Amino acid sequence: MADLEGKIALVTGAGGMRGVGRATALKLAQRGADVAITDVRRETSDLPPAEVREEWHSIDSVAEEIESLGRACLPVYCDLSDDGQIQGMVGQVMDRFGGIDILVNNARAIIGRDKVPVTELSREVWDHFLAINTTAVFVCTQVVGREMVRLGKGGRIINIASNAGKQASAMGAAYSASKFAVLGLTQASAMDLAEYQITVNAVCPGPINTDRMSYWERGLAEEQGVTLEEFRGRIVEEAGRRTPLGRIAEAEDVANMVAFLASEDAAFITGQAYNVNGGLLFH
């Protein structure tokens, strides 16, 4: 399929070797889009073991894959907690491609330090989750949305939320609050931008089989004397048994929904939040 031929996409949080951002960027490129990708520079201690072992180079590695598909790619490192860096990143994309047709707000804070009861949750952790998971989505939507309005060609904004944005769980106050807020932002932005033919939707995955870094998982793995990958494998297996379709999502499952919402087939859909969770949650 080449239904996105001539489109320019910007995907945040796209540097993970097995992440949703990379899968989404590749899917959009396969559909014909040229792609700008961004992520923050991480310390080695904040990388999944497989990325260290495979000498994965974040968005630089993803850019090579996209270019091998015959599409143009612009990798830009950006700390999404810094409004100025977001402005600069979007400016680089506009200078390179002249426009942005599709924005995928995928980046999220590294989980784990938030997995405590609300009475023990530090203000620093709370603020960090809101800054990356919510405020950065707002700022990217605002900055890119202004360019879409200015150019007058419509557009697609797709926010990656979560099951946790519809149903909270214990020891998840910061993460759930940040993702609930994304759904409110999605609906309000959809109404604000509808007159410009810019649609705004959200995708709400359940558990995903990625190598995402989790401080909580790393700590428990150390306590049990197993590798992080072994511990993660147990979680994936257990979560799969609890899922009606018998497995948890792969990154490509989420990317497929994003690609649909970015396409002309979804031109009359806005303000919605689609679950991709194998039947875990129907709300």
Distance CA 251, CA 237 (A): 16
Q: Decide: residue 246, CB within 10 A, 0-12 exposed, 13-18 middle, 19+ buried.
A: exposed
Pairing between strand 102-105 and 73-77?
A: unpaired
Q: In whole angstroms, how far apart are CA 111 and each of 129, 157, 242, 274?
A: 9, 24, 21, 22
Annotated active-site residue 179? The verdict is: yes
Annotated active-site residue 175? The verdict is: yes
Q: Which among 7, 27, 166, 175 is annotated as catalytic?
A: 175
Please answer whether residues 99 and 8 qualify as being in contact, where contact means their C-beta atoms are separated by less than 8 angstroms.
yes
Three-state DSSP at 107 gives coil
The count of other CB atoms within 10 Å of the CB of residue 53 is 10
Q: Which among 166, 179, 196, 215 is annotated as catalytic?
A: 179
Sequence-distant (≥ 6) Cβ neighbours of residue 138 within 8 angstroms:
185
Nearest to 255 by CA among 214, 217, 209: 209
Tell me the catalytic residues.
175, 179
